[in-house]
Amino acid sequence: MSRPFWKRGWQRGRRNRELDEEIQAHLELAERDALDSGRTRTDARTAARREFGNRNLVEEATRDSWGRRWLSDLVQDLRIGARMLRRSPGFASLAVLCLTLGIGANAAVFSWIEGVLFRPFPLVAHQERLVAVVGTARGLAGFNEVSWPDFQDLEKRATLADAFIAEKITGAALSIGDRAEKGVGSVVSANYFDALGLHMALGRGFESSENVGRNAHPVTVISYQFWQERYHGDPSIIGKTQMLNRVPHIIVGVAPQGFYGTFVGYSWQFWVPVSMQETFDYGGSYKLEDRGARWIEGFVLMKPGVTRQQMQQELSAIAARLETEYPDLNRGCGVRLFPLWETPFNGAGTLGPTLGIALSVVVFVLLIACANVGNLLLVRSSTRRHEMTVRLALGAGRARLFKQVLTEGLILSGLAAAGGLLVAYWSRNLLVRLLPPRGIPYRLAGELDWRVFAVTAGVCLVSTLLFALVPAMQSSKADISGALRSESSGVVGGGRKAWIRSTLVVVQVSLSFLLLVGAGLVLQSLQRLRSASPGFSTDRVVITQLTFSKAGYDAARARTLEDELLARVQALPGVESASFSRSAPFSLLSYSSAAIAVDGYQAPRDQQPSADYLEVSPAYFSTMGIPLVSGRDFSRSDDENAPPVAIVNETMVQQYWRGADPVGQRLQVNGKWMQVVGVARLSKYRNFMETPQPFFYVPLRQNLGMLACLEVRTLQPPQAISALLLREVRALDHDLPVYEAIRMREQVDRSMAAPQVAVTLLSVFGSLALLLAAVGLYAVMSCAVSQGTRELGLRMALGAGASDLLRLVVSQGLALTAGGVLLGAAAAFGLTRLLGYLLYQVSPRDPFAFAASSAIMAVVALTASILPAWRATRIDPVRALQS
Amino acid sequence: MPPRKSPYQDRIQILQGTLDMLILQTLQWAPRHGYALSKAIRTNSGEIIRVDTGSLYPALHRLERKRWIAAEWKSSDQGPRLRVYRLTKVGRRQLLPQRSRWARLTAAIAGILDPANARSAS
């Protein structure tokens, strides 16, 4: 038992020889006894043998009693299997190809799911204990951020957590030499690198003292990639200065190679401690001591063995206590935990459902591939029937034959699994290629770790069972005497087998039909999205980002610069108007959110009405092409010294003023009263799928806030505007970074990443499925024709013409297809609802998608059965009947 | 593993307990090789019980694996090497419970075949 298996294998050889010797001795002794009793030598030998029985079976039964027989059997089966497959390379390569596509697609999607959803952060220890944390507000459907004081209180009071990691995503102007460009990074709590268990490539992470003190710790950790690319791996980088948003930061560390930050979708270039929040926050104010300012997203590292539910319970209890302690600021505020793969504030939340759909799609593809290979094996098992019966007659156990066929299947799917892992390896970065470029380094890599290997191995085993079980059962059922006798007539599978194969084809057709319908629906939805109006101009507006850091400019100078730049841009040739805003529709930058109150509106008890808002400059609405349905636009006189004003959207009017024109009424925002001066038409703010939501606008001037976006209304191409803009900005301030300028259309298109990925995946896999189903249908029809040669010949002899036969065969193929389509349509009726979140103004039961898919299926079926049908017409009736 | 349907195995299952006991009992007096063992069982049973080789050898190897018997290669004078089995201490200890179980079994079967006798016996 304790011997290693390879030695046991060697021992096995010795034991086999010994068993042979033992039995040989038995026979010799018996023979000698028979001789002694006076028989002749040959007589004695025969008698001894007869007495003994079937030597092979005795040996086999004895070997069985040794236990652990499977290993030697397996080796033998593998050897036989490999030999059989080598003998029919056409069959083997076709089967392996089918399975490679099926298993490879699964392995690729698994590796994406592993790399994007389950273990999204390479190098980070204990990702299974990491959960995402966001704030909630009663009455607010989505999620909210958490304030720093709340976050610290949660951390202090929670007993079930090892660490609370705060993170705020930020963009910054990275200056190197006299060049400035956009960089992405995070403002993080000082425990960030330690809690994630990272070992810095150089220098250190942050120290806990760097959590406190307003702007007191201008230090930064840069990413390994950034260090390599911009500093060429300078070994003495620690202690050097990096300009971030025009503030000199000391580089204290370089993050380890292969760590890209904790934002699914992108790779980060730098991190700064929370004490530097003000420098990186476009919201402007100093928020570390402000419990009302909610800006943090983060992660909780739970203690080992703690479940998310337990953690959630504890945090909710703490949040409830904070609510009573700070009733003014925390009314209705809670926290909510998400598993990493549902993280709402990064790419996981949006990609999760899409990858889920991709997973079900590839499972379908695998099923279709298995049905195909099962069909091929059935055809083969008919031709191999003779081999099987001979082996049965020679004393092979039926179970052995059964195992033999399964082992052959295992060889096929094992080869395919190896190929599939290669496919997964090649396509690990494919997701990024499916996404529109965004000006930030993407990072969505598949991860090929042991778990992906294990799942692939599991898929390989399950698919072997799926495609080889029926053929294996058929083989081991072979009837010795019958088959041996009728060997000469070369009988192939009977009615039952044909029935199984037809069923497999129907299943294939129905699955591919399902995928076709899905692809059709998503494609239609994408087309609708492309032509849909978000409620603002997309073709005539060019947008770019600018960063005036608060720390780099004093407020007055920033204002002057803004005014001057706006005046210069508006004077550019071909520019109709221009405006600034703190964020922009469909942008990655988040909107501000505020607690609101309206005269005469009574919120439900315990609920804090809130709404998102955007800080804009005058002329924002005309530049963006958002109509004002009532009241006026902001003007230059709505500045710091004027009474605060706001413009609300139509949904807000419906919700808080019951549809009455609110111009002249009051709106309270974070405790500050403002006068409503206008009503803006409802538009889309984050994406097309969002439901109409209350939203309002306030003047940039009256609200602390760094401008970030510059909108230019023009017909000029973005490149031209970019060049002009660069010139104007450089004239004002040499160091101010200018980002790429894009048309608003492109910004909107970027939000369609998820549907686009879904469309690509569904179309690719849908065509693959269609191809496989066509091959399956073709195989079944050819087989039916060759099996029905006699019948077809008889029909011809009785006067059936070529066109009759053609019709007969094709209609059989079409009948199978029709069955598959009906089955697939029934399944699609129930399943396409799951695509709901991807569908924009398309019903999951859209008749057009169903009709088009049926048509495609019919054409494919016709094509696949024409060739066999043509072959049927070439049958020579005389020879067919003679055989 | 699926159940095997080979006829040889059917017989092993039926005979297993009994055959094991017969082997242990026969080896109690002297070590024997397989052929001698089968001959001894046949002779001792008055030519009634013929142990099938397809049952005998698997049983021997199984008992060896259980360490109830031990095997040793012995070279004979003018003939093949012989694999000789002998009873181990563990095997000897097994013999008694095996025999008493057999006694109970035969008594039970006798009771079924001839209820009156069984009642008077008890």
Question: A626 or A757: which carries more pLDDT confidence?
Answer: A626
Can you give the pLDDT at residue A174?
78
Task: Give the confidence band of B9 by pLDDT, cuts at 50, 70, 90.
Answer: very low
- CATH number, domain containing residue B55: 1.10.10.10
Beta strands in A716-797 (DSSP E): 742-743
Q: Do A24 and B4 touch (CB under 8 A)?
A: no
Q: Do A58 and B81 touch (CB under 8 A)?
A: no
A371 lies in the same domain as A451: yes
Residue A172 contacts residue A280 (beta carbons within 8 Å): yes
Q: Do A402 and B2 touch (CB under 8 A)?
A: yes
Given CB atoms, is B82 within the 8 Å cutoff of chain A?
Answer: yes
Q: Do B81 and A25 touch (CB under 8 A)?
A: yes
Can you give the pLDDT at residue A265?
81
Cα gap A185→A206, rounded to integer Å: 15
Mutation target to probe the B interface, by most B beta carbons within 10 A, among A16, A49, A62, A469 is: A62
Distance from CA of B58 to the nearest CA of A (A): 4
Question: B11 or A240: which carries more pLDDT confidence?
Answer: A240
Q: Could you list the residue range(s) of the whole structural domain that residue B17 is in? A: 7-121
| Total structural domains within chain A | 4
A138-142, A399-403, A560-564, A631-635: least confidently modelled range: A138-142
Residue A334 has pLDDT above 60, yes or no: yes
Can you give the pLDDT at residue A139?
66
A501 lies in the same domain as A584: no
**Residues 6 or more apart in contact with residue A333 via CB below 8 angstroms:** A135, A136, A137, A138, A144, A150, A319, A322, A323, A608
Q: Do B61 and A70 touch (CB under 8 A)?
A: no
The answer to whether residue B32 sits within a structural domain is: yes
Task: Give the confidence band of B121 by pLDDT, cuts at 50, 70, 90.
Answer: very low
Q: Could you list the residue range(s) of the whole structural domain that residue A592 is in? A: 548-736
Cα gap A332→A172, rounded to integer Å: 33
Cα gap A131→A308, rounded to integer Å: 8
Q: Could you report the per-residue pLDDT of A422-432, keeping only the tens digit for each?
A: 999 998 888 87
- Segment A342-370 shows an average pLDDT of 85
Helix (H) or strand (E) holding A872: helix A847-873
**Residues 6 or more apart in contact with residue A369 via CB below 8 angstroms:** A98, A99, A101, A102, A103, A463, A772
Q: Retrieve residue A295's tokens.
A: 């800006």
Task: Give the confidence band of A187 by pLDDT, cuts at 50, 70, 90.
Answer: very high
Mutation target to probe the A interface, by most A beta carbons within 10 A, among B50, B53, B83 is: B53
Cα gap A871→A792, rounded to integer Å: 11
Mutation target to probe the A interface, by most A beta carbons within 10 A, among B13, B19, B35, B38 is: B35
Cα gap A153→A151, rounded to integer Å: 5
A413 lies in the same domain as A477: yes
Given CB atoms, is B69 within the 8 Å cutoff of chain A?
Answer: no
Q: Retrieve residue A219's tokens.
A: 């230090």
- Segment A34-44 shows an average pLDDT of 86
Mutation target to probe the A interface, by most A beta carbons within 10 A, among B1, B5, B6, B19 is: B6
- The string of DSSP codes covering A668-719 is EETTEEEEEEEEEPP--SS-TTPPP--EEEEEGGGS-----EEEEEESS-HH
For chains A and B, CB pairs below 8 A equal: 79
Q: Where are the alpha helices (DSSP H) in A53-88?
A: 55-66, 69-87
Residue A809 contacts residue A861 (beta carbons within 8 Å): no
Distance from CA of A61 to the nearest CA of B (A): 6
Cα gap A224→A233, rounded to integer Å: 8
Q: Do B61 and A23 touch (CB under 8 A)?
A: no
Given CB atoms, is A50 within the 8 Å cutoff of chain B?
Answer: no
Q: Could you report the per-residue pLDDT of A52-111, keeping only the tens digit for each?
A: 888 888 888 888 777 655 666 677 778 888 887 888 888 888 889 889 988 999 999 999
Residues making up chain B, counted from first to last: 122
Residue A397: closest CA among chain B residues belongs to which residue?
B6
Given CB atoms, is B9 within the 8 Å cutoff of chain A?
Answer: yes
Given CB atoms, is A14 within the 8 Å cutoff of chain B?
Answer: no
Residue A642 has pLDDT above 80, yes or no: yes
- Which residues on A lie below 8 Å from B8 (Cβ)? 57-58, 61
Cα gap A857→A862, rounded to integer Å: 9
Share of chain A above pLDDT 90, in %: 26
Can you give the pLDDT at residue A599?
87
Cα gap A748→A497, rounded to integer Å: 55
Q: Could you report the per-residue pLDDT of A114-168, keeping only the tens digit for each?
A: 988 888 888 888 889 999 999 988 766 667 889 999 999 999 999 999 999 999 8
Residue A159 contacts residue A314 (beta carbons within 8 Å): yes
pTM score of the predicted model: 0.73
- Segment A306-332 shows an average pLDDT of 91
Greatest mean pLDDT range, A58-67, A169-178, B57-66: B57-66
Q: Do A66 and B61 touch (CB under 8 A)?
A: yes
A190 lies in the same domain as A56: no
A798 lies in the same domain as A844: yes
A297 lies in the same domain as A391: no
Last residue of a domain, one of A48, A67, A86: A67
Residue A402: closest CA among chain B residues belongs to which residue?
B2
Please give the backbone phi and psi of residue A770, each rounded to the nearest 5 degrees, phi first: -60, -45
Q: Do B54 and A57 touch (CB under 8 A)?
A: yes
| Total structural domains within chain B | 1
Can you give the pLDDT at residue A730?
79
Task: Give the confidence band of B14 by pLDDT, cuts at 50, 70, 90.
Answer: very low
Can you give the pLDDT at residue A742?
87
Last residue of a domain, one of A704, A736, A768: A736
Cα gap A427→A446, rounded to integer Å: 8
Beta strands in A582-658 (DSSP E): 592-598, 610-616, 628-631, 645-649
The answer to whether residue B2 sits within a structural domain is: no
Given CB atoms, is B59 within the 8 Å cutoff of chain A?
Answer: yes
Can you give the pLDDT at residue B122?
41
Given CB atoms, is A18 within the 8 Å cutoff of chain B?
Answer: yes
Q: Do A25 and B8 touch (CB under 8 A)?
A: no
Neighbouring C-beta atoms of residue A749, cutoff 10 Å: 17
Given CB atoms, is B28 within the 8 Å cutoff of chain A?
Answer: no
Q: Comparing C-alpha atoms, which of A548, A497, A698 is closest to residue A611?
A: A698
Residue A842 contacts residue A833 (beta carbons within 8 Å): no
Given CB atoms, is B7 within the 8 Å cutoff of chain A?
Answer: no
A371 lies in the same domain as A466: yes
Q: Do A399 and B53 touch (CB under 8 A)?
A: no
Distance from CA of B30 to the nearest CA of A (A): 18
- Segment A771-783 shows an average pLDDT of 82
Can you give the pLDDT at residue A107?
92
A815 lies in the same domain as A862: yes
Distance from CA of B22 to the nearest CA of A (A): 18
Distances A695 to A580, A585, A745 between C-alpha atoms, Å: 18, 12, 22
The answer to whether residue A878 sits within a structural domain is: yes
Q: Where are the alpha helices (DSSP H) in A326-445?
A: 327-330, 347-383, 385-393, 398-426, 430-434
A646 lies in the same domain as A714: yes
Cα gap A750→A588, rounded to integer Å: 10
Cα gap A227→A235, rounded to integer Å: 9
Q: Do A30 and B61 touch (CB under 8 A)?
A: no
Residue A170 has pLDDT above 80, yes or no: yes
Q: Retrieve residue A232's tokens.
A: 């060429």
CA dihedral (B23, B24, B30, B36) in degrees, to 10, reads 10
Residue A366 three-state SS: helix
Beta strands in A568-616 (DSSP E): 575-581, 592-598, 610-616
In this structure, is the dihedral angle defined by the CA atoms of residues A114, A119, A121 and A124, taken in order, positive or negative?
negative
Angle between helices A385-393 and A347-383 in degrees, nearest 10: 70
In this structure, is the dihedral angle defined by the CA atoms of residues A432, A437, A443 and A444, taken in order, positive or negative?
negative
3-state secondary structure A246-299: CEEEEEEEECCCCCCCCCCEECCCEEEEHHHHHHHCCCCCCCCCCCCCCCEEEE
Please give the backbone phi and psi of residue A631, each rounded to the nearest 5 degrees, phi first: 75, -155
With vertex at residue B118, the alpha carbon angle to CA B116 and CA B120, rounded to the nearest 5 degrees, is 70
Q: Could you report the per-residue pLDDT of A492-537, keeping only the tens digit for each?
A: 334 566 777 788 888 888 988 988 898 888 888 888 888 888 899 9
Given CB atoms, is B67 within the 8 Å cutoff of chain A?
Answer: no
Cα gap A436→A752, rounded to integer Å: 9
The single-letter DSSP state of residue A33 is H
Q: Do A29 and B35 touch (CB under 8 A)?
A: yes
Distance from CA of A94 to the nearest CA of B (A): 30
A593 lies in the same domain as A479: no
Among B2, B33, B52, the residue with its CB nearest the CB of A53 is B52
- Segment A695-713 shows an average pLDDT of 82
Given CB atoms, is B11 within the 8 Å cutoff of chain A?
Answer: no
Among B6, B55, B62, the residue with its CB nearest the CB of A397 is B6
- Which residues on B lie below 8 Å from A33 (Cβ)? 39
Q: Do B57 and A62 touch (CB under 8 A)?
A: yes
**Residues 6 or more apart in contact with residue B66 via CB below 8 angstroms:** B90
Can you give the pLDDT at residue A308?
94
Q: Could you report the per-residue pLDDT of A214-239, keeping only the tens digit for each?
A: 888 999 999 999 999 888 999 999 99
- Which residues on B lie below 8 Å from A67 (Cβ)? 65
Among B5, B53, B62, the residue with its CB nearest the CB of A58 is B53
Q: Comparing C-alpha atoms, which of A219, A184, A168 is closest to residue A737?
A: A184
Q: Do B53 and A26 touch (CB under 8 A)?
A: yes
Q: Do B53 and A32 touch (CB under 8 A)?
A: no
Helix (H) or strand (E) holding A333: strand A333-339
Last residue of a domain, one of A52, A67, A82: A67
Residue A804 contacts residue A795 (beta carbons within 8 Å): yes
Residue B16 contacts residue B52 (beta carbons within 8 Å): no
Q: Could you report the per-residue pLDDT of A809-857, keeping only the tens digit for each?
A: 888 888 889 999 999 999 988 888 888 777 888 888 889 989 999 999 9
Task: Give the confidence band of B52 by pLDDT, cuts at 50, 70, 90.
Answer: confident
Among A18, A24, A399, the residue with its CB nearest the CB of B4 is A399
Q: Do A25 and B35 touch (CB under 8 A)?
A: yes
CA dihedral (A70, A71, A73, A76) in degrees, to 10, reads 160
The answer to whether residue B15 sits within a structural domain is: yes
**Residues 6 or more apart in contact with residue A335 via CB below 8 angstroms:** A133, A134, A135, A136, A146, A154, A315, A316, A319
Residue A264 has pLDDT above 80, yes or no: yes
A685 lies in the same domain as A653: yes
In this structure, is the dihedral angle defined by the CA atoms of residues A731, A732, A738 and A743, taken in order, positive or negative?
negative
Q: In sequence order, what are the beta bridge partners of A614?
A: A697
Can you give the pLDDT at residue A577?
92
Given CB atoms, is B53 within the 8 Å cutoff of chain A?
Answer: yes
Cα gap A436→A748, rounded to integer Å: 11
Cα gap A688→A691, rounded to integer Å: 8
The answer to whether residue A86 sits within a structural domain is: no
Can you give the pLDDT at residue A558?
73
Q: Do B83 and A66 touch (CB under 8 A)?
A: no
Residues making up chain A, counted from first to last: 883
Given CB atoms, is A54 within the 8 Å cutoff of chain B?
Answer: yes
Distances A879 to A83, A790, B100 between C-alpha atoms, Å: 35, 9, 74
**Across chain A, what does the average pLDDT equal?**
84
Q: Could you report the per-residue pLDDT of A553-598, keeping only the tens digit for each?
A: 666 777 788 888 889 999 888 899 999 898 889 887 778 778 888 8
A381 lies in the same domain as A481: yes
Q: Retrieve residue A96's tokens.
A: 């392996």
Can you give the pLDDT at residue A480?
55
- Please state the separation of Cα A491 from the chain's center in Å: 49
Residue A81 contacts residue A404 (beta carbons within 8 Å): yes
Can you give the pLDDT at residue A724?
86
The answer to whether residue B31 sits within a structural domain is: yes
- Segment A434-460 shows an average pLDDT of 81
Residue A189 has pLDDT above 80, yes or no: yes
Among B6, B58, B80, the residue with its CB nearest the CB of A65 is B58
Distances A434 to A226, A561, A806 between C-alpha atoms, Å: 25, 40, 44
Q: Do B5 and A26 touch (CB under 8 A)?
A: no
- The string of DSSP codes covering A512-548 is HHHHHHHHHHHHHHHHHHHH---SS-SSSEEEEEB--
